[in-house]
Amino acid sequence: MSLTGLFLISFLIVHLLGNLQLLIPDGGKAFNIYAHFMSTNIVIKFISIGLYVGILLHAIQGIIIVLDNRKAKGSKYAVNTYENGNWLSKNMALLGTFILFFLCVHMGDFWYKVKFTDTLDLITYPDIDYQVKDIYQRVSMAFGNVWIVVIYIVGLIALALHLIHGFQSAFTTLGLQHPKYTPAINVIGILFSVGISLLYALIPLYMYFAKLSNY
Amino acid sequence: MKLDSKVPEGPLAEKWTKYRGSMNLVAPNNKRRLEVIIVGTGLAGASAAATMGELGYNVKAFTFHDSPRRAHSIAAQGGINAAKNYQNDGDSVYRLFYDTIKGGDYRSREANVHRLAECSTEIIDQAVAQGVPFAREYGGLLANRSFGGVQVSRTFYARGQTGQQLLIGAYSALSRQISLGNVKMYNRHEMLDLVLVDGKARGIITRNLLTGELEKHAAHCVVLATGGYGNVFYLSTNAMGCNVSAAWRAVKKGALMANPCFTQIHPTCIPVSGEYQSKLTLMSESLRNDGRVWVPKKLEDAKAIQEGKKTGLDIPEEDRDYYLERRYPAFGNLVPRDVASRAAKTATDEGKGVVRTGLGVYLDFADAIDRYGKAAAHSKGIDNPTSSQILELGEEVVSQKYGNLFQMYEKITGENPYKQPMKIYPAVHYTMGGIWVDYNLETNIPGLFALGEANFSDHGANRLGASALMQGLADGYFVIPYTIGQFLSNEIRTPKFDNNLPEFNAAEKDTRTRIERLMSVNGNQSVESFHRKLGKIMWEYCGMSRNAEGLTKGIKLIQELREEFYKDVFVPGDQNEFNPELEKAIRVEDFLEMGEVMMRDALDRNESCGGHFREEYRSEEGEAKRNDEDYTYVAAWEWKEGGQPQVHKEELTFENVELKTRSYK
Amino acid sequence: MQLTLKVWRQKNGNAQGRFEHHNIEAEEHMSFLEMLDVLNEKLISEKKEPVAFEHDCREGICGACSMVINGRPHGPQTGTTTCQLHMRAYKSGDTITIEPFRANSFPVIKDLVVDRSSFDRIIQAGGYISVNTGQAPDGNTIPVEKDQASDAFDSATCIGCGACVAACPNGSAMLFTSAKVNHLEQLPQGKVEHNRRVKDMVKQMDKEGFGKCSNVGACSVECPKEISVENIAALNRHYLSSVFVKK
C-alpha cells in the first residue's frame, strides 16, 4: 500500500509537470508535442503500463485491507466518534473509491478519446516534421464547461485529502520515522498534498477563465 | 502441635549458602516426571512458575485473572529494596536484614529475613536482564531513592510503576516457559479447595470461571502464591479481586494462619470520599521523601477546613503542626508506615482532620517545590529568580519525580496537588500475617508451600516500604526453586497422581455442595453489602488501634454476620456460567471466617507491636509498647470447624540482633 | 446527578446482544465503575442479573477494564482508564452508552467482558528476553543511557488493556505489539534476540486475526498510558529489516 502509494505520488509530480504546459500561452503547441511524445515513446509506454498496474494494485490492496479489517473489527459500535482519530484516516477507502471514479471520468474524457476515437484534429507545426493530435483543443473545450471544471475541482479536493493522510502514513508504514525529522515530514506531507492538488486545480480553473475572458 | 522452623544450623550469614549447597537435589530426568501446581501468578507465583519451568519441572499455573499480567503486584508503585550499596552510603546485606527485622518490630524469623536480604541483590540483576527499565543516572547506572524506616538509599524504581515493570518481567519469563511447554497456564481458574492424599498436598479443585465447571488437578505438590487478605476490610488498597480463599481453604485443610492480626495500614492513601467508595488508592510512600505531613494547630482552623470555609493555603506557617517532624525529629516524615499511620490517627482523633469527614491530613509539597525551584534556578545560572520562576522550575522538578502520582491524585480528587496540599489518610495496604511456613517455605502440610504475601515469614509485625516486591521475587526466583527439592527429592518414585482418586472426588463434591448452598440461600442482600458490613466491623474493631473490649465485640458481630450471610445472601445467575457475583460470594464467605481469626489473634496478643496497636499497651508518650517477655512468638492459628480456633506458638529466637524499642525519634 | 445508561447486555459469546436502558442516580465524586456498582446493587435488589464488567485494581494499572463509553474506550479523558474516570466528567441528564471492546480477536464473554487472551499469546510468541533465573550478570554491568531507559519505559508502560484494538476501526493490535517490541529493543539486553522476536510476534499477531494498521492513530489517542504511535513506525522498520535485511 505504502509503496504503490508513493509510486503514484511520484507519477502525480511528473504528470503535473507535463500538464502545466497547458498554461503556456502558445496555443497548446508545447503541450501537444509533449503529449505526442508521451503517447508514442516506447519507454513511456512501459512506464505507463507500470502506472496502470500501480493504480490497480493500490486499489486491490486497498480493497483487500478494507475487507480484512472489516472482518477483524467484527461488529461496529453503536456510537461512532471521530474524537479519537481524524475523519481522513478513517475514510481513506471512501476517498480512494471517489478518486478512482474521478480517474475513470478523467481517462474517459481524454485518454480514451485520444487513443480510441478519431474525434481529434490533426495538427502540424512549422518546426516539426510530423503531425500531432490537437489534444490541447480537446482539453480547452472540456474545461470550457463549468460542470466538468466543478467535477475536477471536487476530484482534486478528494485527492488532497487522500494524500494528507496517505503521505505520512506511507512513511510510518515503511518505518521511516525519526523523532527529529518526522514532524517536518508531516508538515511537508500536508504542504505537498495541498500544493499539488492546488496546482492541478489551477489548470481547469485557468483554462475556464481564460476562455471566458476570450469571449 | 510442634512447629519446626527447620532453620539450618550455623552462623546467620552462612546459613543459606551452606544450606543451599547441601540441599537434596532432583536430577533433571526426574524433574520431568514431577508435577508442581502453582496457584497465583503475581510476582511470587509467576517468578516461581517461570523458574521451576526453566529447571524442568512440569508446572501447572493457575490464576483467577484473565492473564497473569493483571495480578495486583502490578500496582506496587515505589520500588524494590536491594542491598547493592551502589550509593556507597554504608548499605550491606546485614543492614538490610537489620532494618527489616527492626522495622518488623522483632516479630519475624531472623534466618528468613537474612536470606531475603541476601537474595535482594540477585533480584535486581535478574530484573535488569529481563528488560525491566529501572531508573538510571546520567552515567547509565542504576538510580536509587530512599524509603521510610531506613537511612540509606537502596530502593530501585521504575518511575512510580515498579511493581508493574517487575511483574511484566516475571510475566514475560512465565510466558516464555508457557511457549516452551514447560508451564501449562490456566487463566480464569479459581482454586476452591486443596486436596490431600495421605496427609500430603497433592492437588486442587478449581472452578473454571468462564463455564463454572469444577476441575480436579493433581500434582506432586502445591505452591500457594495467592497474596494477602487485606480485602477483609472491604476498603483497602488491594484490588477488588484480591482474596484469601486459596489460603483459607488450605487452612481449612489443616494449614496454620500465622500472625493474622499483623496488617499494615499505609499512611499515604487518598481519603474516602463517600459511602459508595469501592477501594482506596495509594499514593506512593516515596512522596514522603519530599512531602511534609501536617494538620492545623488550632481546632477552629481544622473545623473551617472541614466545612469548606478555608483551605490549607489559608493557614499561616506558624499555625501548622508538622507533627511527624515534631514527634520524630530523627526520621521526620520518613518514619515507618505503622508509626506514620498512627500519628495521623492521633491527629484526626483530636479533631484536626482536613477533609469533610475529618479523616485526612495534609501532605504538602510547597517547601519541596520551593527548594527544588531554587536549586534548579541556581544550576541554570539564574541569579535572582522571581518567585514565579522558582515555582515554575520547582514544579517541573517535582513533576519529573512524581508526575504520574500527582496526575493520578488529580484524576481521582479533581484537585491540583501542585497548588493545593495533597490530602491523605491511612488505609489497609498489606498483610504481614499469612500461612505459617518453615525455612523451606513449606507449611505444616507436607507438600504445601506458600510464597510472597501469602506467607507470614519475613516482615514481622510491620513491613518496610519497597520490601514486598523484594520478598515476592526472592521467594519465587531464588528460594522455592531450591527448597522445593527438599520435598520433591523424596517423591521421585511417586508416579503421577490420578485425579480420580477418592480424595479428589470427595473434595470436588464438597465444593459443589458449598456452591449449591450459596446459590440456594436466595435471600435479599447482595454479597457486596455483606462484604461492606464485614469491612466496617474489621476497621472499627481491628483497624489502626484495637482493644480487648472492641475485639470481643467484633468477634461476636462477625459470627452474627456470618449467620446472617447464610440466611439472607442473594447470589444471582447460575453456577454453570460466568458469574462474578458467585465468585465474590465464595470469597466473602471465606473472609467471614478469616476476619474472626484475625480478631482472635489481635485479642490474644497482649502487646503493641508494628501494625498491631493495642490501646491498653502503650508508653506514657502514647507510643506502642512491646512485650518481648511474653510475645516473642509466631501465633499460628488452627481452624477448628464448629469450634474455637486454636493457637500454636513458634518461639522466635534472636541470636544476632538485640531486641530494642524501636525509636525513630 | 441523574443519568440514563444504555448498557450492552449479552448472555454469552453465542447469544445475541442488545442494549438495556437504566436510569440511575450518581454522585460526581464516584468513579465510573462505582457508578456501575450502584447500578448493579440496584439490579440485585430487584433480583435481576447485574451487568458483568471486568475490573480489578481500580487504580489504572491492571488493565482489566474493557468498556467503550460513548464510542470511546475508557471514556472521554485522555490518559485515563475507566476506573479512574470520575463522574464529574458528566453532567446530570446525560445519556451514556456503554459497550464492550469490539474486535473479532476479543470475543465477548458476557455483557462488557471480553476475552483478551490473544494478547497473552502474542507475548508468548516472543515478548520476553530469553534469560533463565540465575544467569544474570550484575545489574550495573551494562550501562543504559538515562534517556534510553526512559524511552524504553514509555513503551513498557503498556497495561495490556486492549483499548488500542478497541479504538482501531481495523481492530489492529499494532500499538500493543509494537510497544512490547520497542520496550525490549531499546534496551541492550533485549537487542540480542530482537530480529527473531519481531518476526515471531508479528506472525502471531496476524494469526490471531487482528486487522492491518492503516495509521489512523486512534489507538494512541485512546491509550490510557498514552503510548505513542512512533512505536508502530519503529515496529514497521524493525520488521522490514528483520525480513529483508537480516539473514
SS3 letters across B303-325: HHHHCCCCCHHHCCHHHEECHHH
Average pLDDT over residues A15-25: 90
Would B46 be classed as within a structural domain? no
Round to whole Å and give the CA distance between B551 and B547.
Answer: 6
Tell me chain C's radius of gyration from C-alpha atoms. Answer: 20
Asked whether the predicted pLDDT for residue B445 surpasses 70, the reply is yes
In a domain, B566, yes or no: yes
Q: Nearest 5°: CA angle at A20, between A18 and A24?
A: 115
| Cα(A196)–Cα(A185) distance, integer angstroms | 16
- Cβ distance of C127 and B172 shorter than 8 Å: yes
User: Under an 8 A CB cutoff, do A174 and C236 touch?
Assistant: yes
At B279-314, the pLDDT tens digits run 999 988 889 989 999 999 999 999 999 999 999 999
Specify whether the CB–CB gap between C52 and C115 falls below 8 A: no
Q: What is the CA radius of gyration of chain A?
A: 20
Q: How confident is the model at residue A51 (pLDDT cuts 50, 70, 90)?
A: very high
Q: Check whether A177 has a pLDDT greater than 90.
A: no
Does B337 qualify as catalytic in the annotation? yes
Lowest mean pLDDT among A44-48, C109-113, C216-220: A44-48
CATH code for the domain in which residue B606 is found: 1.20.58.100
Determine contact: B574 vs chain C, CB below 8 A.
no
Q: A29 or C118: which carries more pLDDT confidence?
A: C118
Contact B66 C54 (CB under 8 A): yes
| pLDDT tens digits along C119-128 | 999 999 999 9
What's the pLDDT tens digit per position in B44-97?
999 999 999 999 999 999 999 999 999 999 999 889 999 999 999 999 999 999
Farthest-apart Cα atoms in chain B, separation: 83
Q: What is the mean pLDDT of residues A166-189?
A: 91
Task: Write out chain B residues lying below 8 Å of C139, CB-based.
Answer: 84, 124-125, 127-128, 134, 142
The C-alpha cell of C87 is what? 463522574
Amino acid at B563: E
User: How buried is B608 (Cβ within 10 angstroms: 0-12 exposed, 13-18 middle, 19+ buried)?
Assistant: buried
Q: Which of B215, B363, B342 is nearest to B283 (CA)?
A: B363
User: In three state form, how does the secondary structure of chain C look?
Assistant: CEEEEEEEECCCCCCCCEEEEEEEECCCCCEHHHHHHHHHHHHHHCCCCCCCCCCCCCCCCCCCCCEEECCEECCCCCCCCHHHCEHHHCCCCCEEEEEECCCCCCCEEECCEECCHHHHHHHHCCCCCCCCCCCCCCCCCCCCCHHHHHHHHHHHCCCCCCHHHHHCCCCCCHHHHHHHHHHHHCCHHHHCCHHHHHHHHHHHHHHCCCCCCCCCCHHHHHCCCCCCCHHHHHHHHHHHHHHHHCC
| Secondary structure E strands in B331-465 | 361-364, 422-431, 434-435, 448-450
Cell numbers of C190, please? 533485549
SS3 label, residue B90: coil
Q: Tell which of B176, B210, B531 to mutate to test the C interface (max C CBs under 10 Å).
A: B176
C-alpha of B568 from chain center: 32
- Residues of chain C with Cβ-Cβ distance to A92 below 8 Å are 214
pLDDT tens, position by position, B310-329: 999 999 999 999 999 999 99
* CB within 8 Å: B570 and C44: yes
Distances B14 to B111, B114, B438 between C-alpha atoms, Å: 10, 10, 18
* A69 CB within 8 Å of a chain C CB: yes
User: Which residue range forms the structural domain that includes residue A53?
Assistant: 2-214
Residues contacting B521, CB < 8 A, separation 6+:
B566, B567, B568, B569, B570, B571
The one-character DSSP state at A200 is: H
SS3 sequence of B548-577: HHHHHHHHHHHHHHHHHHHHHEECCCCCCC
How high is the pLDDT of residue B593? Answer: 97
- At A86, which CATH number? 1.20.1300.10
Is residue B584 one of the residues assigned to a domain? Answer: yes
Alpha-carbon separation of residue B393 from B137, B313, B375, B565 (angstroms): 20, 20, 9, 56
Q: Higher pLDDT residue, B304 or B334?
A: B304
Residue B540 within a domain: yes
| Residue from C78, C212, C228, C242 to probe the interface with A (highest A Cβ count within 10 Å) | C212
Structure confidence by residue, pLDDT tens digits, A179-205: 888 899 999 999 999 999 999 999 999
Q: Which three cell numbers stand for residue B263?
A: 496488617
* Separation between Cα atoms, residue B578 and residue B543, nearest integer Å: 34
Quick check: A10 contacting C, CB < 8 Å?
no
In chain C, the N- to C-terminal Cα span, in Å, equals 63
d(CA B273, CA B275): 7
Average pLDDT, chain B: 95
State the pLDDT at residue C45: 96
Q: Residue B273 falls within a domain, yes or no?
A: no
B436 CB-near residues (< 8 Å, 6+ apart): B3, B255, B256, B257, B258, B443, B444, B455, B456, B634, B636, B650
C31 touches chain B (CB under 8 A): yes
B416 inside 8 A of chain C by CB: no
Tell which C residues from 218 to 247 touch B, by Cβ distance under 8 Å: none
Cell of B458: 519475613
Q: Does pLDDT of B234 surpass 80?
A: yes
- Domains present along chain C, CATH in parentheses: 2-110 (3.10.20.30), 117-245 (1.10.1060.10)
Coil vs helix vs strand at B636: strand
Closest to C56 (Cβ–Cβ): which among B140, B172, B239?
B239
What's the total number of domains in chain B? 1
How many domains is chain A partitioned into structurally? 1
Provide, as residue numbers in chain B, all residues whose Cβ is less than 8 Å from the Cβ of C160: 67, 69
Q: How many H helices and E strands in chain A?
A: 9, 2
| Domain with B538 in it | 517-631
Longest dimension (CA), chain C: 65
Min Cα separation B238/chain C (Å): 7
Question: Rounded to whole angstroms, how far apart are CA atoms A142 and A111?
Answer: 13
B411 touches C: beta carbon within 8 Å: yes
Cell of A52: 496502470
Q: Which residues of C touch B481 (CB under 8 A)?
A: 133
Task: Tell if the CB–CB gap between C236 and A90 is shorter than 8 Å.
Answer: no
Q: How confident is the model at residue A215 (pLDDT cuts 50, 70, 90)?
A: low
Q: What angle do CA B80, B82, B83 make, to 5 degrees?
A: 160
Percentage of residues of chain A with pLDDT beyond 90 = 58
Q: Which of B131, B154, B158 is CA-nearest to residue B144? A: B154
Whether residues C19 and A75 touch (CB distance < 8 A) is answered with no
A87 contact C CB<8A: no
ipTM: 0.98
User: Of the candidates C103, C233, C239, which has its C-beta nearest A172's C-beta?
Assistant: C233
Q: Do the chains contact at A69 and C212, CB–CB below 8 Å?
A: yes
B478-489 per-position pLDDT tens digit: 999 999 999 999
Pairing outcome for strands C95-100 and C2-9 = parallel
Q: Which residues of C touch A71 (CB under 8 A)?
A: 104, 209, 211
Q: Which are the contacts of B187, defined by CB distance < 8 A and separation ≥ 6?
A: B63, B65, B66, B67, B68, C117, C120
Question: Which pLDDT does position C175 carry in this prediction?
Answer: 98
Size of interface B-C (CB pairs under 8 A): 218
* Cβ-proximal residues to A128 (8 Å cutoff; 6+ apart), any chain: A33
What mean pLDDT do residues B236-254 have?
97
pLDDT at B336: 85
pLDDT value for C170 = 95
How far is the C-alpha of C52 from the C-alpha of C10, rounded, in Å?
A: 9
Element (H, E) at B651: strand B646-651
